Amino acid sequence: MSLEFLVASAIAVLVAGGIYLALRGRTFQVVLGLTLLSYAVNMFLFAIGRLIVDKPPLYARGVVEHADPLPQALVLTAIVITFGMTALTVILSLRSFLESGSDQVDGDGDPVREDAA
């Protein structure tokens, strides 16, 4: 099997796991699901530039074969933005738990526990 198949199947597994977790009812699982999905998206964007082994995009005169630098630059910022997004989601879920006393996100979970307030 080719390297392309390996990467494509890894993306498939990450997306499937991410979607399943994002459909769960509690914030922590949803955050984990979004993290998995963002890994998959970053890998997908990177794969658009094709898979090239052992030819990093470092310029030298006469080098013809090299990996595509453009998707790499885009994914690099995407990885850092992903951190910002994950941090914001984690903190939103924490604040919503502190406000409502429940970490359910789909509304049909535990009733609000008044004893904690």
**CA-CA distances (angstroms) from residue 62 to 31, 56, 59, 87?**
46, 14, 9, 43
Whether 55 and 64 have beta carbons less than 8 Å apart is answered as: no
Write down the least CB distance from residue 67 to other proteins, Å.
4
Instruction: Write the CB contacts of 20 (distance below 8 Å, at least 6 apart in sequence).
Output: 33
Write down the least CB distance from residue 33 to other proteins, Å.
9
Write down the least CB distance from residue 107 to other proteins, Å.
13
